[in-house]
C-alpha cells in the first residue's frame, strides 16, 4: 500500500510515519512545508500544497492508496488571521481532492474541540453527539470536516475521519499541555498555570498514530471515530505526575491570563467504536506517556 502523509513532520505525523514504516509492507511518502527530511520514508516532498502543480506532482508520483491530511492552518491570534486560515484551508482541500481518483482514500483529522461543552450526562461522548464548540478552533474544525465531506461527495472520494482528543507523549511541542509544563520546569523551579481543575482525556501520541493506521486501513468510509482513552484526569493530577517524575518541588502560581472563563471543565470520549469495530486498543498509560515525554525533553 502506498501511503501519502500530508503534514508528516508534525507531532502526530512523525509517529504516524514511524508506525507505517515499522510494518515494512507499505511505501510511505511525506509532504510538508519544512525542509527537514524524514529518512525513514520512501520519499519526501517539500513544498506548499496551496500550489496546485506541487500537490498534483505529489499525487501523480506516489500514486497513494491512502492519504492522511494532517495539515491545519488555524491561528489563535485574531479574527483576521483566522479568516485567512479558512481561505488557505479551502484552497488546499480543493487542490487535494481535484487530483484524487475514486480508488484513493482520505483520512482527515478532526478534534474533540468540535464537541465543546457537552453536558456531563452525555459523557463519555460518542461520535453521534452534536457539536457545542466554545472555541474558534472547534468551529474551524467543524467547518473543515464539513468541507471535506462536501468535496468527497463532489469528487467521489472515500473519506474517513478521526476526532482526536488531547494528545501527549514523546515529542510533544511546547504549545501543548505536557510540553509547556516540562519546558517551564526544565530551567527553573517555578511554573505558571491556568485552571488546574479542568479535566482532559489524554492519549499517548503513539496510541494516536496506531489508531490512525487502524482507521485508515479498517475504518468504514464516511464514518468518524473518536481517538481517545475513555477517561480524564485533571491538569493538576497531570502536573503532579510530572513533578513526581522530575523529583522536584516547584513553586506553582496561577496566571489569570491563562484562565479561560469559557474553558471546558471536563470532556471524556467514548472509544467503543474503535475498540469494538476496528479492534484497536491502547498500549500506553498516562504514566508511561509522561515518563517518555520527560526523557525526550531532557535528552
In the predicted model, is pLDDT for residue 299 greater than 70?
A: no
Residue pLDDT, tens place only, 53-94: 999 999 999 999 999 999 876 665 555 566 777 888 999 999
Would you kindly state where each structural domain of the chain is located, as residue ranges?
2-168+201-230+266-283
Residue pLDDT, tens place only, 216-256: 999 999 999 999 999 999 999 999 999 999 999 999 999 88
> What's the pLDDT at 187?
80
Place of cell 492508496: 65
- What radius of gyration do the chain's Cα atoms show? 19
Phi, psi of 24 (to 5 degrees): 70, -15
Inter-residue contact 207 to 260 (CB < 8 Å): no
Residue pLDDT, tens place only, 25-58: 899 999 998 766 677 899 999 999 999 999 999 9
Angle, CA 112 vertex, CA 2 and CA 19 arms, to 5°: 30
User: What mean pLDDT do residues 16-27 have?
Assistant: 92
> What's the pLDDT at 188?
82
Question: What fold is seen in the domain 2-168+201-230+266-283?
Answer: Rossmann fold (3.40.50)
> What's the pLDDT at 297?
78
Using DSSP's 3-state secondary structure scheme, residue 144 falls into helix
Instruction: Supply the DSSP symbol for 169.
Output: S
Q: Hey, CA dihedral for 187, 193, 199, 203, is it positive or negative?
A: negative
Centre a 10 Å sphere on the Cβ of residue 72 and count the other Cβ atoms it contains.
17
What is the reported pTM? 0.95
Phi, psi of 186 (to 5 degrees): -65, -40
Q: Which helix (H) or strand (E) element contains residue 2?
A: strand 2-6
Question: Please, which residues bridge with residue 30 across strands?
Answer: 5, 44
Amino acid at each position: 500500500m502506498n501511503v501519502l502523509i500530508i503534514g508528516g513532520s508534525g507531532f502526530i505525523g512523525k509517529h504516524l510515519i514511524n508506525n507505517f514504516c515499522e510494518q515494512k509492507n507499505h511505501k510511505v511518502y511525506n509532504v510538508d512545508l519544512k525542509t527537514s527530511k524524514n529518512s525513514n520514508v520512501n520519499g519526501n516532498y517539500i513544498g506548499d500544497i496551496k500550489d496546485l502543480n506541487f500537490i498534483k506532482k505529489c499525487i501523480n508520483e506516489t500514486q497513494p492508496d491512502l492519504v492522511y491530511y494532517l495539515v491545519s492552518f488555524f491561528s489563535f491570534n485574531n479574527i483576521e488571521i483566522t479568516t485567512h486560515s479558512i481561505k488557505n484551508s479551502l484552497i488546499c482541500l480543493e487542490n487535494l481532492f481535484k487530483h484524487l481518483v475514486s480508488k484513493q482514500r482520505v483520512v482527515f483529522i478532526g478534534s474533540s474541540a468540535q464537541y465543546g461543552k457537552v453536558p456531563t450526562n452525555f459523557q463519555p461522548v460518542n461520535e453521534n453527539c452534536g457539536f457545542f464548540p466554545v472555541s474558534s478552533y472547534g468551529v474551524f474544525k467543524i467547518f473543515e470536516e464539513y468541507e471535506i465531506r462536501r468535496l468527497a461527495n463532489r469528487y467521489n472520494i472515500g473519506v474517513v475521519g478521526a476526532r482526536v482528543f488531547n494528545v501527549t507523549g514523546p515529542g510533544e511541542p511546547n504549545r501543548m499541555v505536557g510540553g509547556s509544563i516540562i519546558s517551564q520546569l526544565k530551567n527553573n523551579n517555578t511554573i505558571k498555570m491556568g485552571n488546574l481543575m479542568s479535566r482532559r482525556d489524554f492519549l499517548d501520541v503513539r496510541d494516536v498514530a496506531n489508531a490512525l493506521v487502524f482507521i485508515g486501513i479498517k475504518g468504514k468510509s464516511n464514518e468518524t471515530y473518536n481517538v481517545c482513552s475513555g477517561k480524564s484526569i485533571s491538569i493538576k493530577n497531570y502536573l503532579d505526575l510530572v513533578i513526581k517524575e522530575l523529583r522536584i518541588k516547584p513553586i506553582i502560581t496561577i496566571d489569570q491570563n491563562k484562565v479561560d472563563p469559557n474553558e471546558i471543565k471536563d470532556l471524556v470520549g467514548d472509544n467503543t467504536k474503535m475498540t469494538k469495530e476496528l479492534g484497536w486498543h491502547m498500549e500506553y498509560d498516562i504514566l508511561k506517556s509522561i515518563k517518555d515525554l520527560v526523557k525526550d525533553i531532557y535528552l
